[in-house]
Amino acid sequence: MVKGLEGIIAAETQISLVDGTKGHLVYRGQWAKDLAVRHTFEESAYLLWHGALPTPLQLAEFKNELARGRRLTPELRSLLEAIPPHTPLMNTLQAAVTALAGNAPAWPPALEQAVQLTALLPTLIAYRRHQLSGTPLSEGADTEEDHAAYYLHLLSGHPASEAQVRALNAYMVLAMEHGLNASTFAARVVASTESDLYSAVGAAIGAMKGPLHGGAPSGVIRLLDSIGTADRAEPVLRAMLERGERLMGFGHRVYKTRDPRAEALREVCAGLAGGDPWLDLARDTEETAIRLLAEYKPGRALYTNVEFYAAAVMRAAAMPTELFTPTFTAARIVGWTTHVLEQAQHNRIYRPQSLYTGNMPASDA
Ligand SMILES: CC(C)(COP(=O)(O)OP(=O)(O)OC[C@H]1O[C@@H](n2cnc3c(N)ncnc32)[C@H](O)[C@@H]1OP(=O)(O)O)[C@@H](O)C(=O)NCCC(=O)NCCS
């Protein structure tokens, strides 16, 4: 028996490669790092769904399709109004997504359904946020805007800076797909029963909600908060290491070398130097942390993990902490739906065995 199915290969996929030893993350034959630095959320999502980057014409058509899918129907608005305010946002998203199944054919899942859900998630998150805080959803946000820009515009009510958009875009590209993680596996299991795509995504959202998976990088936020300015990085971090504490955002269990997602986000943040104080603080803190970790933990090869830069990007984008996991969800939905579509192509229902360790009846059968 392999607890947690660790190391078990449960699916063949052409979608992505995650190699923790070499520090490789590949989406459909392209380095995810390059996609995050040079391409948009739209282009990367298109690549995952279609297997190739879009031509300019294909991209324009795809962006139109996304723009059309962004509006909330009156039925969805009513549903969101009816959900009690204390219901966690992830459960609210789950309810809204599964309600969309409506009369759509359940099987096979369709790419249009995947695009529709991906287009809608930022609007759902922002609508709910404004609904609960009693503020109006920005009518100024243009549904033609790029995905990351549109999301930030809807949330804050004003257009985001270029630095914020580029940083969030890079994060969303890197968070889009990561092999057969718990939520993606959940989506594939549901799809394997020939259930609909909406139910598969609903299950994935449920898995993503758990702190072991989609948990917010709040430890990193606290660390950066306690540092405040770059000149305080060394004394604060040194004191932590002297006390035997761990520096949040450093070290990784799978990546035994540099986490390619952290590398890519660093590159984007470096390109935005001077564009945002949070990104500058993150970059300066990282340099100091790596140096001090090498001094206090020689030979451990401790590098920056994705949580570190995810926190910096979220902070720079003025994203409230409670929206970290929903934002991760708005990106990962591309990976989930791509896996559901792939599962449907060569489907076989998942049916592992369990090892019975309970008692047997006292009498013979
Ligand atoms: C992520 C993490 C659990 C991976 O742990 P791991 O690969 O199993 O490594 P271990 O926990 O066995 O630690 C190995 C050594 O490095 C040290 N170490 C690991 N990460 C460290 C960190 N972030 N800060 C300081 N020391 C660290 C450990 O104290 C240990 O030192 P020791 O051998 O002197 O006792 C660990 O690096 C960590 O706790 N990081 C901080 C939390 C974090 O950023 N989480 C988000 C992950 S995406």
Rounded to whole angstroms, how far apart are CA atoms 199 and 312?
A: 33
Rounded to whole angstroms, how far apart are CA atoms 360 and 363?
A: 9
247 Cα–ligand 1 center, Å: 8
Residue nearest to atom 39 of ligand 1 (CA): 246
Reply yes or no on whether the pLDDT at 212 is more than 60: yes
In the sheet that 16-19 helps form, which strands lie side by side, from edge to edge?
16-19, 24-27, 30-31
Q: What is the pLDDT of residue 274?
A: 65
Residue nearest to atom 32 of ligand 1 (CA): 297
Q: List pLDDT tens digits, range 19-30.
A: 988 989 999 999
Reply yes or no on whether the pLDDT at 166 is more than 60: yes
Confidence of residue 141 (pLDDT cuts 50, 70, 90): low
Length of the chain measured in residues: 365
- Percent of the chain at pLDDT exceeding 70: 97
User: What are the domain boundaries of the chain?
Assistant: 15-211+323-345, 218-316
CATH of 218-316, one of 1.25.40.10, 1.10.4190.10, 3.20.20.70, 1.10.230.10: 1.10.230.10
Q: Looking at ligand 1, which atom is closest to the CA of residue 250?
A: 23
Catalytic, out of 153, 252, 339, 342: 252
The fold of the 15-211+323-345 domain, in CATH, is: Citrate Synthase; domain 1 (1.10.580)
DSSP count for the chain of H helices, then E strands: 16, 3
* Mean pLDDT, rounded, for 81-94: 97
Q: Looking at ligand 1, which atom is closest to the CA of residue 251?
A: 37
Mutate to test the pocket of ligand 1, among 25, 300, 308, 324 (most ligand atoms within 8 A of CB): 300
43 Cα–ligand 1 center, Å: 35
Which candidate, 106, 102, 156, 149, places its Cα nearest to that of 129?
Answer: 156
**Is 24 labeled as catalytic in the residue annotation?**
no
**Is 307 labeled as catalytic in the residue annotation?**
yes
Catalytic, out of 42, 145, 177, 307: 307
Please tell me if the domain spanning 15-211+323-345 has the same topology as the one spanning 218-316: no
Reply yes or no on whether the pLDDT at 316 is more than 90: no
Dihedral angle of Cα 245, 249, 254, 255, to the nearest 10 degrees: -120
Q: What is the pLDDT of residue 215?
A: 64
Residue nearest to atom 26 of ligand 1 (CA): 246
DSSP state, 321?
G
Mutate to test the pocket of ligand 1, among 302, 304, 328 (most ligand atoms within 8 A of CB): 302
φ, ψ for residue 256, nearest 5 deg? -95, 15
